[in-house]
Structure 1
């Protein structure tokens, strides 16, 4: 009995110690639409900056007002922080010449990283004729950007089937993308199976899991419905009865994300992308637990 107990505590201690910072993180933010949201965004950026992420991405809405806000957030990140800023860029609402100009402008302003997406089609649009792979090719023809593209472990809602979706991802990588970032997911198995299928299809870049730390399960159910993401029954159980208990939801949400990252990191995943929803608390706590911490200046 004592032997089993010793073995168990050893493996437990091992699992708590093993994640000592051997991972890379990146964070996603969205452009604020009110002064309050602007304050929240900047306090989150300042809080997460010392964790030294590989890059921080800023999402991009299809209408020009949101586009301008994306640019101003990117400019401020470039000018006022030490972070690598990666704007999202979509091609649904822009002509090729416009995209080229924008890419040149970004390069001239020191932006080297871009998240390249097709973008959501406006209601009633005809079937698309241009895809994210075309945008990747266009960007690479302008300059040698570091390009991230989207991947869908549970299949893009518009894809004919999983194989067609995988072929589309391979096109994006073959066009020059440097990594794929997944849609958020909670079924870890589906990510691992997807990663295996990517390898089998000859996709040889990092498939970075997109992690969404959840505090609002009601909102998550809406998101998941729109994006074809399955919410396992264990996740429903975790948040059951917490509708009016936000502080417990924070702890549960952090715990779920930490467990997921631990399992993934044991499976050899080294890079994680956090959908912060412009809030720092959960992402910071998760990173801290995983050993991603501010660099302490050594005494000389």
Structure 2
């Protein structure tokens, strides 16, 4: 029985025609789970702009779930971003994920909108309330933040600039999420913060992602994943158990929705959604 909790899925723009064809199949498979929307990532400084646009419009044409493009501001101009906003609006897209992004390699200037809060304010100034704006949240602190308190203030600034809701970086410690939510409540911030969920299917990839983005893998879990070596079946079985337990704990605590980082795959995400009664 479904628990009637909204879910959403993230894709990245494929690099090859074969990848694009596969993504259409994955999209069809995950659409059967009735997601609230799909998001599509966007490279810093517009480095994947054309592939992002192509993916967004291809998936939008198929339906039925809305598509939410990621939009990053660092190293980009207001004029370029305004053009993207106008193009999305003209195509009937009304949801965005607004991010700072990483500075492209070799580029020294931050651009006209250096921070995500600046991008949120610009979207509101340029497009009013047309777009539902999602922003990023980091329960375990952004890896480049000076401190937890500074990162919290930055998130509050994004909410005050006009964000409607937020998606967290993936995490495996529910206490980090609840602590973050408690701090927001004390600050009077009430926008929904949706846990980002990363299925565990490959140990080396997960560890690399986690180390680069500052997401903590509990020591016991990291050790167990490494101990399995190339035993992919055991890694997937452990990962499914760990992440399903995390989802259940978050459901019991009242998490408003879940956003799955699919890595353009459907199997692991589908199993977690069905196992957790979210389909």
Q: State the TM bucket, normalised to the shorter chain.
A: over 0.9
Q: Distance in 1 between matches of 2:45 and 2:136?
A: 20
Name which of structure 1's ranges 273-282 and 87-96 shifts more when overlaid on structure 2.
Answer: 87-96
| Superposed displacement of residue 192, structure 1 | 1.2
Deviations for 1:20-65, whole angstroms, at most 9, x for unmatched residues? 4231111100000123322332221110002111111000113656
Query: 1:253 matched to which residue of 2?
Result: 239
Counterparts of 1:255-270 in structure 2 under 5 Å? 255-270=241-256
Q: 2:81 aligns with which of 99, 112, 135?
A: 99
Residue 273 (1) aligns with residue 273 (2): no
Q: How do 1:50-89 and structure 2 match up within 5 A?
A: 50-62=32-44, 64=46, 66-89=48-71
Equivalent of 2:202 in 191, 216, 221: 216
- In the TM superposition, what is the alpha-carbon distance from 1:193 to its structure 2 partner? 0.8
Aligned partner of 2:28 in structure 1 is 46
Question: In 1, are the aligned partners of 2:45 and 2:76 still within 8 Å (CA)?
Answer: no
Measure how far apart 1:205 and its partner are.
0.7
User: Does structure 1 conserve the Cα–Cα contact (< 8 Å) formed by 2:30 and 2:266?
Assistant: yes
The number of residues matched between the two structures is 275
Aligned mate of 1:143, from 128, 140, 143: 128
Q: What does residue 177 of structure 1 align with?
A: 163
Query: In 2, distance between residues paired with 1:237 and 1:24?
Result: 33
2:92 is aligned to 110
User: 1:199 aligns to what?
Assistant: 185
TM-score (norm. length: structure 2): 0.93
2:3 to 3, 16, 21: 21
2:87 and 2:121 mapped to 1: Cα distance?
Answer: 17
SS, match of residue 169 in structure 2: strand
- Structure 2: where are the runs of 5+ without partners? none
Cα distance in 2 for residues equivalent to 1:38 and 1:44: 10
Q: Equivalences for 1:161-172 in 2 at 5 Å?
A: 161-172=147-158
- What is the RMSD computed on CA atoms of the aligned residues? 1.7
Are the equivalent residues in 1 in contact too, given 2:134–2:163 (CA < 8 A)? yes
Q: Name structure 1 gaps, 5 residues minimum.
A: 1-18, 294-300
Displacement of 1:126 in angstroms is 4.8
Which entry has the higher C-alpha Rg, 1 or 2?
1
Contact 2:71 2:97 in 1 (8 A): yes
Whether 1:234 and 2:220 are equivalent positions in the alignment is: yes
- Cα deviation, 1:162-201, whole Å, max 9, x if unaligned, reads 1111111111111111111111111211111111111112
Question: Using the alignment, how far apart are the partners of 2:32 and 2:23 within structure 1?
Answer: 15
**Equivalent-residue separation in structure 2 for 1:117 and 1:257 (angstroms):** 26
CA contact (8 A) 2:197 2:259 kept: yes
